[in-house]
């Protein structure tokens, strides 16, 4: 089973600076975390205009919740976590869950 961490970043004070730092500094740190299986990012758009969407969402997949915990307890995980306040001026919300696949038959 896959265990997923979702990081939702709020609107940064300087989007261009956020983008450059995230791409050039933070992502290279994150992909070095032990046990990370996949990292994806996207720019969500709200279906309801009255509800603002996050600026950026990152999804980090691990083989298990224990693997995720070990990744963040590692030296590289600690470095990566300490890096977030350096660029996330709009804040960051982190949630995690066990992924359940629903197969669709047509």
CATH code, domain with 7? 3.30.70.100
103 beta partners: none
Domain span at residue 34 reads: 3-44+54-98
Question: Which pLDDT score is estimated for 106?
Answer: 86
Residue 71 lies in a domain: yes
Residue 7 lies in a domain: yes
Provide mean pLDDT across the span 4-22.
98
Please give the model's pTM, rounded to 2 decimal places: 0.92
Say if residues 58 and 6 touch (Cβ distance below 8 Å). Answer: yes
In this structure, the chain runs to a length of 106
d(CA 7, CA 54): 10
Q: Where residue 29 falls among pLDDT bands split at 50, 70, 90?
A: very high
Q: Where residue 70 falls among pLDDT bands split at 50, 70, 90?
A: very high
Domains of the chain: total = 1
Residue 49 lies in a domain: no
Looking at 4-8, 49-53, 67-71, 77-81, which range is the least confident one?
A: 49-53
């Amino acid at each position: 089973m896959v265990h997923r961490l979702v990081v939702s970043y709020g609107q940064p004070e300087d989007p261009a600076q956020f983008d450059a730092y995230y791409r050039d500094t933070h992502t290279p740190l994150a992909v070095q975390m032990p046990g990370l299986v996949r990292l994806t990012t996207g720019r969500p758009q709200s279906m309801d205009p009255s509800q603002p969407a996050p600026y950026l969402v990152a999804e980090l997949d691990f083989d298990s919740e224990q693997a995720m915990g070990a990744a963040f307890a590692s030296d590289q995980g600690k470095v990566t976590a300490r890096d977030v306040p350096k660029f996330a001026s709009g804040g960051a919300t982190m949630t995690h869950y066990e992924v359940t696949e629903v197969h669709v038959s047509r």
